[in-house]
Amino acid sequence: MQPKPDSPVEREPSARETMPDLRFVPTGSLVPHEEHDRQRSEPLVKRIRDSGVWVNPPVVAPMGDGRYVILDGANRHYAATALGFPHILVQVVTYESGAVRLDTWQHVISGVTWFEFLRGLKEVPGVSIECTDLLTARAELARRKLLAYSVLSDGHAYAIEAHTQTLAEQNTILCRLVNTYKDRGRLNRINTDSLAVARRLHPEAVAIVVFPHYEPAEIVVAARDRLLLPPGISRHIVHGRAMRLNYSLDALRDPETDLDEKNRQLQRWIQERTAEKRIRYYAEPMFLFDE
């Protein structure tokens, strides 16, 4: 049976679907809103250098002053900077377009005992931790009364509160909090606060840390004022995300060709790909197993 024309299968983008806004910008014009993850970024430098191609462009949004906040791709930006690329190929979006939804990742922790995990949290100055029930923790986090909460394998929820006066203090404590388990155990991202669900993918998980929902303005201010969030908390879901470009690194590392010419070459490359029917559109969510 043939699929219906509008069913969520691989197909060419239609005239109604806007192509991603891909462009070259100066590497130094990108501003992160979160710290890069050294456990991921250091190996990424070598993988990019060895591959010879730029695969998935960072997603960025204009800040209105010639700079761009990195919504997704802080590790790739770090790698491009480390490799000395004068220009970087990005996908430009705006919150106002409706094509970007800001969500939050939760952290699932393994590689330590739940007691070691909890002891690490309690060592962070300025943090108070109280045992509570899960429903109360969810409600207080929604009111932004808590910095975060955690669900542990001992069967309890723990409210994590920080008595801070400024966003700078709050984000500093949040980074210290994440560092206590990021450096001692294994951190993976997940979108549930159920430890039973998390253990289907991470059987040795001992804890989940749940963070509040952020607003776009908070992301931009974090970048503008260098009040960086920890890595792996903000989650930007982009409709029409550009993936697997496999664009030659020669263009990124080339210091001679100016920005306008690089963008002209990029547009010609996109037009050629379109004419050859090599650009495919997926309307449904996907799981990629080769990242």
Class of 21-101+237-275 in CATH: alpha beta
C-beta of residue 160 within 8 angstroms of C-beta of residue 207: no
Eight-state DSSP code of residue 29: G
Distance separating alpha carbons of residues 274 and 20, to the nearest angstrom: 12
Angle between helices 167-182 and 114-122 (to 10 degrees): 150
The count of C-alpha atoms lying within 13 angstroms of the C-alpha of 33, restricted to the half-sphere facing its C-beta, is 29
Give pLDDT, residue 275. Answer: 92
Pairing of strands 68-72, 59-62: antiparallel
- Helix H, strand E, coil C: the string for 65-98 is CCCEEEEECHHHHHHHHHCCCCEEEEEECCHHHC
Give pLDDT, residue 166. Answer: 85
pLDDT digits (tens, 9 = 90+) for 1-47: 444 444 444 555 554 457 899 999 999 999 999 998 877 888 899 99
pLDDT digits (tens), the chain, 291 positions: 444 444 444 555 554 457 899 999 999 999 999 998 877 888 899 999 999 999 999 999 999 999 999 999 999 999 999 999 999 999 999 999 988 999 999 999 999 999 999 999 999 999 999 999 999 999 999 999 999 999 998 889 999 999 887 888 999 999 999 999 988 899 999 999 999 999 999 999 999 999 999 999 999 999 999 999 999 999 999 999 999 999 999 999 999 999 999 999 999 999 999 999 899 888 777 777 765
Beta bridge partners of 188: 108
Element (H, E) at 118: helix 114-122
Give pLDDT, residue 18. Answer: 73
C-beta of residue 207 within 8 angstroms of C-beta of residue 150: yes
CA-wise closest residue to 159 among 177, 146, 169, 171 = 146
C-beta of residue 116 within 8 angstroms of C-beta of residue 207: no
Give pLDDT, residue 219. Answer: 95
> What are the sequence ranges of the domains in the chain?
21-101+237-275, 106-210
CB atoms within 10 A of CB 84: 10
pLDDT digits (tens, 9 = 90+) for 91-106: 999 999 988 999 999 9
The pair of structure tokens assigned to 45 is: 């430098």
C-beta of residue 208 within 8 angstroms of C-beta of residue 198: yes
CB atoms within 10 A of CB 149: 26
Distance separating alpha carbons of residues 219 and 114, to the nearest angstrom: 31
Query: CA gyration radius for the chain?
Result: 21
Strands (E) in the chain, as ranges, are: 21-26, 30-32, 53-54, 59-62, 68-72, 87-92, 100-104, 106-110, 127-132, 148-152, 157-162, 186-190, 207-210, 234-238, 247-248
Eight-state DSSP code of residue 40: H
Distance separating alpha carbons of residues 289 and 291, to the nearest angstrom: 6
CB atoms within 10 A of CB 247: 19
CA 30, 31, 33, 38 dihedral sign is positive
Return the CATH fold of 106-210: 3.30.1760
